[in-house]
């Protein structure tokens, strides 16, 4: 039997353990000493050798503090995911955020120096092996050097963000743990209720959908305040930074995603032209379900009951591991190791947060996966998705910390590549039309999600940002913006939309990152391109295909998406042709669904 709850005892035995408290005290003491040491920065300016020694020492001192702050924050977040009401997890998360913020405030003068140095001096420093570990990150940030505020102002932004910007995101997470629903005569939290949206019984799906919507309707004013605060903060900060060059929200998002605006424009333009593929997938699903009124409660419906069954967690791990192993035996062994070591938390808990994610500790470098597993095929694909993230983190675990941080666009490539491996393997192994339908159904669901739902989220958020720039956006207006976005992308493939989606979808309330949507579409289509190329090479008998994929993953934290694709695939993602190639694969999948015997 595989474990279904996290085992983090070797990180810290508990949230109130003496080991954790000792590390936090040590980190605080080391931070005080670092702050004193930083006072010597002005004394080494202009002396190349002295500056190099100074910066190396700062880097070494900061590293251990960063590891402790990171680990404590992840531990608190893990516990908070299992129980969003846990007061100890909230308190510890607050302490970790404060430590990390104080570290970044302390380092702000060095960051300012590194971003403003003349290129020749900067290049000379980057030739040092230790400092050069951050060469790509710093070069990327130097592109926005003109957006930097004075050091004192940057420190103020960091400090205020801890209990300002990020507090709003934390408030949303608190709401997730607070909302209780009664469905089918049982009281439950949002995470358990969300799994009922995959029920084969439509009446139960509808009851769950209506209960979830009503739960968020009761908190609509609070969530509206959260979205207004987050976007208002970002807009004001962008105004303050844009004294010499004004960047809009999408420019900043592309910078965070390590892509060019031309890449995003090409991606969204080609997706708009192909939206009919996602709509067609929904129409085919409705036909199979015998529905002429497909609604938002049906978007996660499984295939007809005769072909659906509960899949135990242990079986899901084996299915995923076997599929991974067909591509890379080490990847399959890794999936089993995750479950054996207690690095996956899947068992339902009373006040569990919604959604699924992968995170990682800094030292030792170990990934963790969070899902709420209820035995559906959708759960299996979600688990494969998160294990794809985990494999990505595992492959790069030996790299410097700055190179283990990669943009969301490239993160989603690894996760969706893993999904594709599992779907393809399961389809090839299918023994009956019902089993084939289950896999093709998942492909069709993916086409609908990525080519319709994700772009609708993107359109909604663009409209939200534009209206927030003019003033407060009410809950009623947020509902209208949601309906308008869904109408543009779903058109007649749904008989009604989901006006409370802006509240129910946690992605809109993430404090640290706006536009937490198009990177999923990017990852979906990019991963299809990667998959097609690698599998073609594998089919041709080429050696080292798994190693080539690992090499691509290892570069995700040290080059832009454009450079990564040019190096590893020899293509240009700023051009429509790249995306058209991936969309052609989606078209084939939808057609395969259409041709499957009823």
Q: Quick one: pLDDT at residue 14?
A: 95
Q: Quick one: pLDDT at residue 474?
A: 98
pLDDT tens column, 79-92: 999 998 899 999 99
Among residues 168, 291, 282, 183, which one has the least CA distance to residue 234? 168
Q: Quick one: pLDDT at residue 435?
A: 81
Whether pLDDT at 106 is above 60: yes
Mean pLDDT of 377-403: 95
Residue 306 is given by DSSP the state: G
Report phi then psi at 381, rounded to 5: -65, -40
Q: Quick one: pLDDT at residue 306?
A: 54
Whether pLDDT at 480 is above 80: yes
Mean pLDDT of 145-149: 95
Q: Quick one: pLDDT at residue 309?
A: 74
Report phi then psi at 326, rounded to 5: -60, -30
Among residues 207, 182, 184, which one has the least CA distance to residue 197? 207
- Rounded Cα distance between 85 and 81, Å, is 9
Whether pLDDT at 366 is above 60: yes
Mean pLDDT of 301-322: 86
Q: Quick one: pLDDT at residue 439?
A: 87
Q: What confidence category does residue 305 fall into, taking pLDDT thresholds of 50, 70 and 90? A: low
Whether pLDDT at 457 is above 70: yes
pLDDT tens column, 275-289: 999 999 999 999 999
pLDDT tens column, 551-577: 999 999 999 999 999 999 999 999 999
Among residues 533, 559, 526, 561, which one has the least CA distance to residue 548? 533
Q: 117: Cβ–Cβ under 8 A, 6 or more apart, which residues?
A: 125
pLDDT tens column, 342-357: 999 999 888 899 889 9
Q: What confidence category does residue 304 fall into, taking pLDDT thresholds of 50, 70 and 90? A: confident
Strand 367-370, strand 357-360: pairing: antiparallel
- Rounded Cα distance between 257 and 255, Å, is 5
Coil, strand or helix at 499: coil
């Amino acid at each position: 039997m595989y474990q279904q709850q996290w085992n983090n005892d070797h990180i810290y035995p508990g949230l109130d353990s003496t080991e954790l408290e000792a590390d936090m005290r040590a980190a605080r003491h080391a931070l005080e000493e670092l702050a004193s040491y930083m006072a010597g920065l002005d004394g080494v300016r202009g002396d190349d050798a002295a500056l190099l020694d100074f910066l190396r020492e700062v880097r070494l001192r900061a590293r251990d503090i960063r590891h402790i702050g990171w680990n404590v924050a992840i531990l608190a977040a893990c516990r908070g995911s299992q129980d969003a009401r846990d007061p100890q997890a909230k308190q510890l998360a607050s302490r970790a955020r404060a430590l990390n913020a104080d570290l970044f405030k302390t380092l702000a003068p060095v960051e300012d120096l590194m971003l403003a140095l003349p290129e020749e001096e900067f290049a000379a420093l980057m030739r040092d092996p230790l400092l050069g570990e951050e060469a790509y990150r710093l070069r990327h940030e130097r592109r926005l050097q003109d957006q930097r505020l004075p050091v004192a102002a940057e420190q103020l932004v960091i400090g205020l963000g801890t209990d300002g910007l990020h507090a709003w995101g934390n408030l949303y997470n608190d709401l997730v743990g607070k909302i209780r629903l009664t469905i089918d005569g049982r009281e439950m939290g949002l995470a358990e209720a969300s799994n009922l949206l995959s029920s084969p019984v439509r009446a139960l799906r509808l009851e769950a959908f209506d209960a979830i919507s009503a739960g968020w309707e009761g908190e609509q004013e609070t969530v509206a305040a959260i979205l207004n605060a987050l976007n208002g903060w970002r807009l004001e900060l962008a105004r303050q930074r844009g004294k010499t060059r004004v960047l809009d929200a999408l420019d900043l998002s592309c910078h965070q995603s390590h892509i060019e605006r031309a890449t995003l424009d090409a991606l969204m333009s080609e997706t708009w032209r192909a939206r009919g593929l996602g709509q067609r997938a929904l129409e085919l699903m409705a036909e199979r379900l015998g529905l002429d009124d497909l609604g938002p409660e049906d978007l996660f419906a499984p295939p007809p009951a005769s072909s659906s069954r509960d899949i135990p967690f242990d079986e899901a791990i084996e299915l995923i591991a076997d599929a991974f192993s067909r591509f890379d035996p080490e990847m399959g062994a890794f999936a089993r190791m995750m479950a054996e070591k207690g690095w996956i938390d899947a068992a339902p808990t009373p006040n569990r947060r919604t959604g699924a994610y992968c995170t990682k500790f800094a030292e030792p470098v170990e990934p963790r996966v969070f899902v709420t597993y209820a035995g559906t095929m959708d759960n299996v694909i979600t688990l494969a998705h998160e294990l794809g993230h985990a494999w990505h983190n595992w492959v790069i675990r030996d790299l410097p910390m700055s190179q283990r941080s990669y943009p969301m666009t490239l993160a989603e490539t690894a996760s969706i590549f893993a999904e594709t491996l599992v779907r393809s393997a399961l389809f090839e192994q299918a023994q009956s039309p019902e089993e084939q339908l289950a896999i093709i159904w998942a492909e069709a669901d993916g086409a609908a999600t990525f080519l319709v739902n994700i772009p609708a989220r993107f359109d909604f958020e663009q409209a939200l940002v534009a209206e927030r720039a003019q003033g407060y956006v009410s809950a009623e207006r947020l509902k209208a913006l949601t309906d308008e976005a869904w109408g543009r992308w779903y058109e007649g493939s749904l008989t009604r939309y989901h006006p409370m989606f802006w509240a129910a979808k946690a992605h809109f309330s993430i404090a640290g990152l706006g536009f937490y949507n198009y990177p999923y579409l990017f990852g979906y289509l990019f991963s299809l391109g990667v998959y097609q190329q690698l599998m073609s090479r594998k089919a041709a008998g080429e050696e080292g295909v798994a190693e080539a994929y690992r090499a691509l993953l290892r570069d995700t934290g040290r080059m832009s998406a454009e450079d990564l694709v040019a190096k590893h695939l020899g293509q240009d993602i700023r051009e429509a042709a790249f995306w058209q190639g991936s969309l052609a694969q989606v078209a084939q999948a939808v057609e395969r669904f259409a041709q499957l015997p009823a």
